[in-house]
Structure 1
């Protein structure tokens, strides 16, 4: 009996340490919705390009600017949804949303993401458009991997896959749009579904 009690105490200590060092209230549903937003945005952008570019996408025209706006809206809605659902889940689990762990999580996530975003804006300003989609996937994947040590470890694997898709996109720029849809749309839905049933639906 004493050995079992010791094992139980050790497991409880490990769980407490894990909770204190990792932010575990990330919502799987937010991942699903982020993927849906990405698919909707990609569909609208594809329709715009197909019906208004006449075979050539004018990168300084209104279609291109509209596509950039759609991309920004997808990111905005995804972030807002993640904040809302994660906050709701944390309150439901009686966990703090804004503490030292969540601050470290956000900081480690934003460093690669903001760096990548600024670099992409720089190359777009230089009219180097071919690698933008691949770079989005790569830097987003790096951000996930970098932040995973302060959250659910599963996001590390999503990050690795995003990086691989980005590298493939760099090698095959003609498939950049498809890989972007796969990485930000389909994978988010799959990952979010897994996380929802693994962590949320208990």
Structure 2
């Protein structure tokens, strides 16, 4: 019986080694936490802006949205994206250094390619939506394409992001149907889900 257990343990260890050799495992849960915090800060900034000019969220997804508000929303979204990417690079580099892993190899390259394709398509699609004045579909589209990118990239990194991706997709589809909840869905998807996911990943893999 003990011999069988030892054999199973050995097979399990071999499987883990093979899994680590084919997946990029230096993603840090802290990057998810900070991305979520930046997203919530962005939502708070947008809410403050709307209150300052006596706007309601339905004004965002109407065709009467003025140019200044559009520029402000795009600026906030861009800042959130840059800060999230910056934190992801920093914490991933720190984790890789701590574990003596290479941060730039074939695994990380495959991961980036599989993330970048859905994200790039999603970015162009959102630009097309803005061009046609379909502002109310931008937030749902961002969630859906981001979720697709996570699902697509999960083959080359921690499997846990697969479920985060599915959650983002479901949330995006919900926001596409109930367009009045677009900002709330954006806050939950890019904010709360990232914080919960990042915290779980940190305690699961880094503690």
TM class, shorter-chain normalised? over 0.9
Per the TM alignment, residue 14 of structure 1 is displaced from its structure 2 partner at its CA by: 1.2
- Structure 1 residues without counterparts, runs of 5 or longer: none
- SS where residue 187 of structure 1 aligns? helix
Kept after mapping to 2: 8 A contact 1:113/1:143: yes
Kept after mapping to 2: 8 A contact 1:53/1:63: no
Task: Note the alpha carbon deviations across 1:138-175, whole angstroms, 9 max, x for none.
Answer: 00000000000111111011110100000001110011
Cα 1:96/1:54, change in 2 over 3 Å? closer
- SS where residue 25 of structure 1 aligns? coil
Cα 1:54/1:90, change in 2 over 3 Å? closer
User: Aligned Cα RMSD in Å?
Assistant: 1.6
Answering whether residue 180 of structure 2 is matched by residue 174 of structure 1, we say yes
Per the TM alignment, residue 187 of structure 1 is displaced from its structure 2 partner at its CA by: 0.8
Q: Report the TM-score when normalising by structure 1.
A: 0.94
Residue 198 of structure 2: aligned partner: 192
The farther-off stretch of 36-45 and 6-15 is 6-15
CA distance in 2, matches of 1:142, 1:40: 24
CA distance in 1, matches of 2:91, 2:167: 24
CA distance in 2, matches of 1:51, 1:32: 29
Residue 24 of structure 1: aligned partner: 25
Q: Equivalent residues in 2 for 1:89-168 (5 A)?
A: 89-168=95-174
CA distance in 1, matches of 2:55, 2:73: 16
- SS where residue 114 of structure 1 aligns? helix
Per the TM alignment, residue 34 of structure 1 is displaced from its structure 2 partner at its CA by: 0.4
Task: Note the alpha carbon deviations across 1:162-201, whole angstroms, 9 max, x for none.
Answer: 0000000111001111111010011111111111111111
- Structure 2 residues without counterparts, runs of 5 or longer: none
Task: Note the alpha carbon deviations across 1:81-113, whole angstroms, 9 max, x for none.
Answer: 101100110111111111111111111011111
Residue 72 of structure 2: aligned partner: 66
Aligned length: 201
Kept after mapping to 2: 8 A contact 1:137/1:183: yes
- SS where residue 130 of structure 1 aligns? helix
Residue 36 of structure 1: aligned partner: 37
CA distance in 1, matches of 2:3, 2:159: 32
